[in-house]
Amino acid sequence: MNNNGNYSASDLEGMGQGGYPYFAYAAVYLPYNYSRDGKPFKVMYLSHGAGNPASEHSWTGKGVIQNQMDNMIASGGSEPFVVVSIDNYATGWNGDNFLNVLVPAIEAKYNVSRDPADRAVVGFSRGAYFTHDVMKTGPDFADSYGLFSAYLPDSTMAADYTALSGKSIYIGVGIFDEYYWGTLNIQKALAKDGVSFSSHLLNAGHDWYVWRLLYNDLVSKILWK
């Protein structure tokens, strides 16, 4: 039996913030047992960081997400779920565009759950900035959030995070990361409002070594466990 999943590129379009045409791109990982019929699959929306090149293929390229998922599913470390790796240069790093255009387009095309309990939003660096924007814009969109090596200046902090109480929030970073302060910012802000979170520190910097390890740790030990 072939237990390998597959991924494909999807072009999505709709009307974005301000009524302007919006075009988005995603690389979608489908587990080996994916079907258009039956119970909808749990889904993770996954974001890359800033830089060139950076796109919806960052996680399927340097992140080798399809290999990580196949291995964790085969070993029993993860249940099968769909991963949507998005292009944030198309979203404009904007939570409204994500929630109002990209997600409905994905849900119309793939058999993924619309239940917040079955959704996760995860990103690294500037992608964690985007994840944080989704957390502020639509905190009830998902029950699980992951921020790796977060780029989160003081100006991005919300006045109140109590709407995230009861959510599963995972925060990971390398102790030599240039954006370590961003992780401290969000940890302090959540703690101030009594919002619990889990954290993972690595003896490393700001690179794919860290993000692959954090992804594996989140999925195999915490997400939907």
CA 77-82-84 angle, 5° bins: 120
User: Which residues of the chain fall short of a pLDDT of 70?
Assistant: 1-2, 8-24, 52
Q: Is residue 89 part of a domain?
A: yes
pLDDT value of residue 73: 96
pLDDT value of residue 197: 98
Q: Is residue 99 part of a domain?
A: yes
Q: Is residue 149 part of a domain?
A: yes
What range does the domain containing 111 cover?
6-221
Does a cis peptide bond (omega within 30 degrees of 0) precede residue 53? yes
How many domains would you assign to the chain? 1
Reported pTM: 0.92
Q: Is residue 1 part of a domain?
A: no
CATH number of the CATH domain containing 189: 3.40.50.1820
Q: Is residue 45 part of a domain?
A: yes
Contacts of 165 (CB under 8 A, 6+ apart): 193, 194, 195
Q: Is residue 151 part of a domain?
A: yes
SS (H, E, C) the chain: CCCCCEEEEEEEEEECHHHCEEEEEEEEEECCCCCCCCCCECEEEEECCCCCCCCCCHHHHCCCHHHHHHHHHHHCCCCCCEEEEECHHHHCCCHHHHHHHHHHHHHHHCCECCCHHHEEEEEECHHHHHHHHHHHHCCCCCCEEEEECCCCCHHHCCCCCHHHCCCEEEEEEECCCCCHHHHHHHHHHHHHCCCCCEEEEECCCCCHHHHHHHHHHHHHHCCCC
